[in-house]
Structure formats: C-alpha cells, structure tokens
C-alpha cells in the first residue's frame, strides 16, 4: 500500500491513557456505568436469506432472526454484556475480534472457554477499553459457521468522537453458492494450500452493491469490516474526497487516501468522506484487487449541499494502548511457512484434515486435548517485539488476540506506526510488531484466512 499523506499537519490527538482511565473512573463515580448492563441476546439461528437474484439460500446462519447479524454498539469504558444462546446443531463460541478483554471472554474453545453446545448458553461480559470498529464471530468450526453467515460488526463509540452528518457500517463478505443459490463446498484443498477458496457471490451488508443516501456536501463516516473467510481487498473511493481515519480500530497517525489500500480478512477501515455538492452524485467504494474490480457500495448525495469541508473532521482520540518500550523489549522470531505434515481432523471445532501451513515449523494440531506448547511465554507488563517473516508465496492477515501491537518496521515498505490486531504480511516480507504483554492468559495468533488457520497457521502466546 502507498501512504499518500494529504494533510501531514492534521495529526491524531495524543490524549491516550488519561482519557481512557478518566472515563472509566467517572463512570464508576456516577454509579450508572458500573451497573451490570442488560445482556444483548445473541441466539444462533439457521434461516433463509435472499443473497442472489434467485430464490432464497437455505441454511444461512445468523444471530437473531432478522437477516444479517446485528451491528453491536458498545461504549468505550462502559460494561457490555451478551448472552450467546446456541440454537444451531453445532457447538459454537463468540470471539470479539480486536477487543482487549479478559482471557475468559475471548471465545476460543479449548484454550480459554468450554464449547457452547446446542441448547446451551454462555454469558460474555467485558468493558471495551478502545473505541473503533471491531467485529465478532464464532471460534469453532469457523469455516462453516463464518462461511455460512456468522460474522457481525461492532462499533465502540467514544463520546468524544468527531461529529459527522451520517454514518454507515459495512460488513463485507462473500458466499460460496452454486447457480441454484445454495451453498457449495466451503473449500477446495488445492486452494487452501494457496490463497484460500474464494466465495462466488460478493456482498456488502448481505446485498450486492447496496446504495445509501447521504447529505450532499456532508461528511460521512464509513466503517468497513472485512469479515470474509478468504478475500483480501484493495480499496479505493471514487467520486469524493476521502481519508482513511482509522485502521483496525485505531486512528492512523496520518490521514491518507485509500489508493488501492490492501486489507485482509479480519481488518477494518474507517473513512471520512466528503459528499459531492450536487444532488444525485454518486460516490463508490471499490475493490480494485485482481482482474475483476467490484463496486462494493455506493453513496448518493441527497438534498442541498451542507458545504462541509473534509478538513473540519476533528481527529479521533488515540486509544489507551500501552506503548512498547523498545530499549527493554525481548524479541520473538516467528516464521510462517508451508508444510506437508498431516493434521488429523479430530477436534470438536474441526480442523480441515490437512496440514499446509506452519508457524516456526509447527503446524497447529487443532483443538486437540494435547495442544502444542505456546510460541512464547511472556511476562505480564513486559515489552516484546514479534519479528515475523513470511516464507510463503501468499499474503497472510496475521491476527493476535487480546493485545494490540504497534507496527514498527517492514523490510519491504515504509509503514506508519499503526496500532492494530491484524497485520497483512506480504510474501518475502519481514515485519516487526511491538507490544506490551499487559493481558494475562493464552492468546491465539493465527492467519485470518480461515483455511490457513485451520490447516496449521495458528499458534498462541501465554502471558503469565
Ligand atoms: Cu477474528 Cu481468532 O479471530
Ligand atoms: Cu494465511
């Protein structure tokens, strides 16, 4: 990705730690935020959904029954609670991707919580410390469960967020459907050993190229989450001024234009878009990767122009993520490679029965009673740098649970010091990711191309 800085001057506000702590403290003093909130009920369901221009697709999975899993809204520094009720024929859990929370709430079966069997429930409760765009999904039989629909977006609001004239949330994903609109095999082994198996029908919010109306000349906040199991996108906006404000739930140090911005499964982007003045003008968000560029969604300018200026968008507040101390940081080397070792498919949450990938030469065996040892044991509060090298010809969106890292350097390109939970590492790239091990427990680290995750490219770190 190229970083085109539009306004080097407009930096994000560096008011991190103080505000996060302050907010929680005020909440507690007032008493209202500390009260246990009414849990949101997320009941898994099997439904029919209209995903193609023909009859409905059967066996679509969701939370609730109203189509796409709901966009969950939480508030930074305020307690959130959800009850997962499992009404499908398969054990499940929920992982809150990118949210720094207690290990027990992280939703990884076997490692941190029991499977939630059919008819059972599990209560999740945590207080999101960071504002931004996140998402949620199962962490059991993920290729099927996510592939068939169980991916939803989370917005963590900050009362100090800049004001926009409109906000839209986009859940981007594909479906593997045949010509009859019904699910076909979720993966092909030969593709799992390469880029992963692509879906056949591409959607935004479960629609093909939906259009939304926004005030002409107004400022729009567009939150985008890639919840697909395979696809990497290259984003571009046509027809309006647009800035990338945040990536993976954290403000970018310097705003830049989305000019074929590469983001992989699990990643999120927030755009500030200044709508055109003229009523009826169309702004489009496109994926320009590969040979078949695709318009993902369009925004239509409505009404008389509000005449806003994109430079009026106030910077987002930095999240209270501890800063890595590079002088004391211990380095952890991590090599991503291909392998030909076989992995038995014996876990309740399913491995694919193939081993194609490995981290430090170890292919993850799945949720077996005898999991592989952690990649590293980290000391609570200490700084670490993961030096990750990609020895494969594919790109991998590598996701760390439970802690946010800072992108320090890459061997192949200039990088911004982004705070993130998912890094899309390119072939032959070496990247250094720094973080403070400030969250106790076992935290998964895996590729978010689910076929890669499920055929070996998974491991974990232990913070003690
Ligand atoms: Cu988005 Cu381990 O997951
Ligand atoms: Cu991968």
Q: What mean pLDDT comes out for the span 316-328?
A: 97
What average pLDDT score do residues 19-45 get? Answer: 59
Consecutive H or E run containing 231: none
Please say if the pLDDT value at position 417 is more than 90: yes
pLDDT exceeds 70 at position 7 = no
Ligand 1 atom closest to the Cα of residue 446 is 2
Atom of ligand 1 nearest to the CA of 97: 1
DSSP category for residue 113: B
pLDDT of 370 reads 62
**CA 260/CA 2 separation, integer angstroms:** 8
- Nearest ligand, CA 146: 1
Using 50, 70 and 90 to split pLDDT, how confident is the model at 345? low
Which residues form ligand 1's pocket by a CB distance below 6 Å? 95, 97, 137, 139, 266, 399, 401, 444, 446, 448
pLDDT in tens, 381-393: 999 999 999 999 9
Q: Among the bound ligands, name the one nearest to the CA of residue 452.
A: 2
Ligand 2 center from residue 91 Cα (angstroms) = 24
Q: State how far the Cα of 124 lies from the Cα of 113, in Å rounded to an integer.
A: 11
pLDDT at 368 (0 to 100)? 62
Which H or E element spans position 33? none
Name which of 228, 397, 207 is nearest 295 in CA terms: 207
| Ligand 1 midpoint to CA 444 (Å) | 8
Q: What is the mean pLDDT of residues 266-283?
A: 98
Cα 352 to averaged position of ligand 1 atoms, centre (Å): 17
Give the whole-angstrom CA distance, residue 261 versus residue 263. Answer: 6
CA–centroid distance, residue 361 to ligand 2 (Å): 14
Give the position, in ligand 1's atom list, of the atom nearest the Cα of 266.
1
Q: Token pair of 181, please? A: 């609109």
Instruction: For residue 154, give the nearest of 136, 168, 170 by alpha carbon.
Output: 136
- 355 conformational bin, left if phi > 0, alpha if psi -120 to 50, beta if neither: beta
The CA distance from 65 to 48, in Å, is 10
What integer pLDDT is reported at residue 3 of this predicted model?
37
d(CA 20, CA 158): 10
Q: What is the DSSP secondary structure assignment for residue 310, as one 8-state letter?
A: G
Q: What pLDDT sits at residue 33? A: 46
What ligand is nearest to the CA atom of residue 194? 2
Give the model confidence (pLDDT) of 187-208 as tens digits. Answer: 898 899 899 999 999 999 999 9
Percent of the chain with pLDDT over 70: 89
pLDDT confidence of residue 163:
94
What average pLDDT does the chain have? 90
The string of pLDDT tens digits covering residues 89-137 is: 999 999 999 999 999 999 999 889 999 999 999 999 999 999 999 999 9
Q: How far is the CA of 151 from the centre of ligand 2 (A)?
A: 19
Query: How large is the average pLDDT for residues 36-43?
Result: 92
CB atoms within 10 A of CB 369: 8
CA of 312 to the centre of ligand 1 (A): 35
Which ligand has the minimum distance to the alpha carbon of residue 111? 1
Q: What is the DSSP string of 376-441?
A: EEE-TT-EEEEEEEE-SSS-EEEEESS--EEEEEESSS-----EESEEEEPTT-EEEEEEE--S-E
Atom of ligand 1 at shortest range from CA of 401: 2
- pLDDT computed for residue 273 by the predictor: 98
Per DSSP, the residues of 141-199 read SHHHHHHTT--EEEEEE-TTPPP-SEEEEEEEEEE-B-TTSSB--S--HHHHTTT-PPP
Condensed to tens digits (0 to 9), the pLDDT of residues 356-382 reads 889 898 888 776 656 678 999 999 999
Position in ligand 1 atom list of the atom nearest CA 453 = 2
Looking from the CA of residue 444, the nearest atom of ligand 1 is 2
Q: How far is the CA of 94 from the centre of ligand 1 (A)?
A: 10
The residue nearest atom 1 of ligand 1, judged by CA position, is: 97
The model's pLDDT over 9-20, given as tens digits with 9 standing for 90+, comes to 233 333 333 333
> How does residue 34 score in pLDDT terms, banded at 50, 70 and 90?
low
Q: How far is it, in rounded angstroms, from Cα 79 to Cα 88?
A: 28
Q: Is there a contact between 68 and 62 (Cβ–Cβ < 8 Å)?
A: yes
Question: Which residue has the CA at smallest separation from atom 3 of ligand 1?
Answer: 97
């Amino acid at each position: 990705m190229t970083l085109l800085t539009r306004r080097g001057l407009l930096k994000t506000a560096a008011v991190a730690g103080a505000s996060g702590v302050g907010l929680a403290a005020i909440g507690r003093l007032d008493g209202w935020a500390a009260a246990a909130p009414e849990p949101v009920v997320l009941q898994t369901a099997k439904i029919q959904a209209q995903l193609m221009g023909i009859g409905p697709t059967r066996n679509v999975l969701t939370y609730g029954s109203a189509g796409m899993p709901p966009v969950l809204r939480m508030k930074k520094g305020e307690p959130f609670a959800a009850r997962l009720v499992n009404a499908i024929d398969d054990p499940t859990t929920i992982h809150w991707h990118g949210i720094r929370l207690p290990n027990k709430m992280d939703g990884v079966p076997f490692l941190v919580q029991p499977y939630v069997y059919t008819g059972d429930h599990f209560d999740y409760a945590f207080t999101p410390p960071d504002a931004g765009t996140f998402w949620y999904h199962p962490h059991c039989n993920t290729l099927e469960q996510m592939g068939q629909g169980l991916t939803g977006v989370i917005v963590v609001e900050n009362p100090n967020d800049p004001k926009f004239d409109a906000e839209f949330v986009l859940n981007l994903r594909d479906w593997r459907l045949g010509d009859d609109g019904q699910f076909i095999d979720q993966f092909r082994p030969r593709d799992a050993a390469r880029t992963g198996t692509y879906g056949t029908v591409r959607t935004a919010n479960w629609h093909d190229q939906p259009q939304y109306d926004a005030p002409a000349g107004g400022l729009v906040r567009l939150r985008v989450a890639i919840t697909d199991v395979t696809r990497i996108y290259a984003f571009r906006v046509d027809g309006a001024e647009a800035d990338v404000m945040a990536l993976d739930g954290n403000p970018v140090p310097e705003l830049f234009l989305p000019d074929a911005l590469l983001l992989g499964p699990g990643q999120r982007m927030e755009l500030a878009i200044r709508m055109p003045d003229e009523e009826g003008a169309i702004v489009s968000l496109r994926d320009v990767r590969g040979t078949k560029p695709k318009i993902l969604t369009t925004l239509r300018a409505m009404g008389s122009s509000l005449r806003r200026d994109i430079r009026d968008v106030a910077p987002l507040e930095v999240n209270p993520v501890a800063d890595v101390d590079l002088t004391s940081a211990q380095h952890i080397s991590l090599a991503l490679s291909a392998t030909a070792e076989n992995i038995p498919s014996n876990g309740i949450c399913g491995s694919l029965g193939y081993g194609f990938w490995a981290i430090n030469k170890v292919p993850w065996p799945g949720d077996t009673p005898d999991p592989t040892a952690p990649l590293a044991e980290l000391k609570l509060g200490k700084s670490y740098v993961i030096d990750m090298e990609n020895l494969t010809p594919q790109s991998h969106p590598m996701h760390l649970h439970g802690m946010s890292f800072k992108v320090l350097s890459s061997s192949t390109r200039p990088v911004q010091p982004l705070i993130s939970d998912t890094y899309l590492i390119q072939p032959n790239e070496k990247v250094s990711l720094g973080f403070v091990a400030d969250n106790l427990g076992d935290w998964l680290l895996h590729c978010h191309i689910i076929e890669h995750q499920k055929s070996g490219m998974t491991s974990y770190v232990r913070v003690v």
